[in-house]
């Protein structure tokens, strides 16, 4: 299953695109021509690979024709990218996206938000960021950003707009704290990349390898800690670990009889790893998911021959838990585990990324289209896409908890296992 965390490495002859005005790039006529090439490729990828050949009843050709007309009238590259992205977004599918060419300027805003219940709360601020100097605080409620009113329904699209389609050289936002609204204009940190990498060149190949290594080094790591005698805290940040790493973590699991499994912030990953982890909790041959493609339907079941874990399980989820993490949470919930936290993302399909180039001759830009190629159903036939997992116990941190670094959600989960943890200590335990 696809993950928004996965880094996109730069590859050969990648002509990155600038935040500057079109006069600094190719003419708008050339940009429109490339936009049409990309549009044709998006259509081809969807027609050949999208899991539902009816496109949920959408008139795909009509959608493409309208986008083409608007691309031919577009006045900027950003507008063209927005139209291309809109074709994918109109499918209302969590894993189908237009992934535009890399830009020369890498924009880092220095802060982030996440949804907690019905509020978008600031959950991280870089120490050296303009956002911190402007007085932004962890726990502030974000009401508006870049002119958009945030809702739980649109926040992923707005994040995609700000990070991929239209990075902002100045980001205006309105936040609220204790009933008082403030409007800030925050300048991000902008770093200029090399405009072109050629993997036939040894130095450029080394640069690309180092970029990929840096991205992997920043990936959160699994964590296991003892909460008390026989009680284990296990945080799984994603589903990308090799089978050997999962087996190693399973050894610690089997030495405990109470478990808090933390899937908060876990965006998903490999369905194979999902099935392996599910196999730690169910007998061999237990159905985990049903995968539906255009051609067929396949049931995936556990294969671990060892005795399944028989202890008490509490699963933690939040609004960033997605894809494989949601499937595992629901799988365990249906087997008696209690799920604590927030409603999950509801982003549960499987996708492939198709890489392409647009342009002529030596001047070509690389871009990609992520296409949902399979639907994912639970063994009982239910779908989590668009719905998410509903926790048994709704437990949310307050703005003050986020600012103090406290984790009352983990403290609540531990109490269900008869373990008492102060929320501040819980915050230290769950910190990446």
| Spatial separation of the C-alpha atoms in residues 233 and 239, rounded to whole Å | 17
Indicate the range of 197-206, 214-223, 417-426 predicted with least confidence. Answer: 197-206
> Of 9 and 182, which is predicted with more confidence?
182
pLDDT tens for each residue of 136-167: 999 999 999 999 999 999 999 999 989 888 88
Cβ atoms of residues 407 and 430 within 8 Å: yes
> Of 432 and 194, which is predicted with more confidence?
432
Neighbours of 280 (CB within 10 A): 19
Mean pLDDT value across residues 267-295: 93
Reported confidence tier of residue 354, pLDDT bands at 50, 70, 90: very high
Using the CB atoms, write b or e for 292-327: b if 16+ within 10 Å.
Answer: beeeeeeebbbebeeebbeebbbbbbbbbbbbbbbb
User: pLDDT averaged over the chain?
Assistant: 87
**Alpha-carbon torsion (367, 372, 374, 378), positive or negative:** positive
Long-range pairs for 107-110 at CB < 8 Å and ≥24 separation?
107/19, 107/163, 107/167, 107/168, 107/169, 107/188, 107/189, 107/190, 108/188, 108/189, 108/190, 108/191, 109/162, 109/171, 109/186, 109/188, 110/186, 110/188, 110/189
Is residue 197's pLDDT more than 70? Answer: no
pLDDT at 192: 67
pLDDT tens for each residue of 218-259: 578 899 999 999 999 999 999 998 889 999 999 999 999 999
> What is the model's pTM?
0.85
Q: Phi then psi for 203, rounded to 5 degrees? A: -65, -45
Task: Tally DSSP H helices, then E strands, for the chain.
Answer: 12, 19
Is residue 117's pLDDT more than 90? Answer: yes
Q: Phi then psi for 190, rounded to 5 degrees? A: -115, 120
pLDDT tens for each residue of 58-95: 999 999 999 999 999 999 888 999 999 999 999 999 99
Residue showing tokens 């940190």 = 189
Cβ atoms of residues 123 and 403 within 8 Å: no
């Amino acid at each position: 299953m696809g993950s928004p965390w996965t880094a996109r490495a730069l590859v050969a002859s990648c002509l990155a695109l600038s935040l500057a005005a079109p006069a600094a790039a190719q003419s708008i006529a050339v940009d429109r021509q490339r936009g049409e090439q990309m549009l044709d490729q998006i259509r081809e990828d969807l027609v050949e690979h999208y899991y539902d050949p009816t496109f949920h009843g959408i008139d795909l050709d009509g959608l493409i024709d309208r986008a083409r007309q608007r691309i031919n009238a577009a006045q900027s590259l950003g507008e063209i990218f927005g139209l291309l992205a809109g074709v994918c977004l109109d499918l209302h599918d969590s894993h189908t996206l237009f992934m535009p060419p890399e830009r020369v300027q890498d924009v880092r805003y220095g802060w982030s938000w996440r949804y907690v219940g019905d509020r978008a709360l600031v959950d991280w601020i870089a120490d050296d960021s303009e956002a911190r100097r402007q007085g932004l605080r962890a726990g502030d409620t974000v009401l508006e950003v870049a002119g958009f009113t945030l809702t739980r329904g649109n926040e992923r699209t707005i994040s995609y707009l700000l990070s991929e389609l239209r990075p902002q050289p100045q980001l205006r936002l309105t936040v609220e704290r204790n009933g008082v609204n403030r409007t800030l204009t925050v300048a991000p940190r902008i770093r200029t990349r090399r405009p072109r990498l050629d993997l036939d060149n040894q130095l450029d190949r080394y640069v690309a390898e180092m970029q990929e290594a840096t991205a992997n080094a920043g990936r959160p790591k699994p964590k296991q800690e003892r909460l008390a005698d026989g009680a284990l805290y296990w945080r799984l940040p994603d589903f990308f670990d090799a089978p050997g790493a999962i087996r190693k973590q399973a050894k610690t699991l089997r030495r405990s009889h109470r478990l808090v499994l933390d899937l908060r912030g876990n965006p998903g990953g490999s369905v194979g790893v999902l099935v392996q982890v599910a196999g730690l909790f169910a007998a061999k041959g237990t159905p985990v998911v049903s995968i539906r493609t255009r051609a067929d339907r396949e049931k995936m079941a556990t294969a671990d021959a060892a005795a399944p874990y028989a202890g008490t399980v509490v699963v933690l989820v939040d609004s960033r838990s997605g894809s494989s993490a949601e499937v595992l949470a629901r799988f365990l919930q249906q087997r008696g585990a209690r799920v604590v936290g927030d409603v999950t993302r509801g982003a549960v399909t499987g996708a492939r990324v198709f890489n392409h180039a647009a342009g002529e001759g030596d001047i070509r830009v690389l871009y990609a289209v992520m296409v949902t190629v399979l639907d994912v159903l639970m063994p009982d036939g239910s779908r989590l896409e668009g719905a998410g997992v509903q926790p048994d116990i709704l437990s949310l941190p307050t703005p003050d908890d986020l600012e103090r670094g406290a984790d009352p959600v983990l403290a609540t989960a531990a109490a269900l296992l008869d373990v008492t943890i102060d929320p501040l200590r819980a915050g230290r335990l769950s910190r990446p």
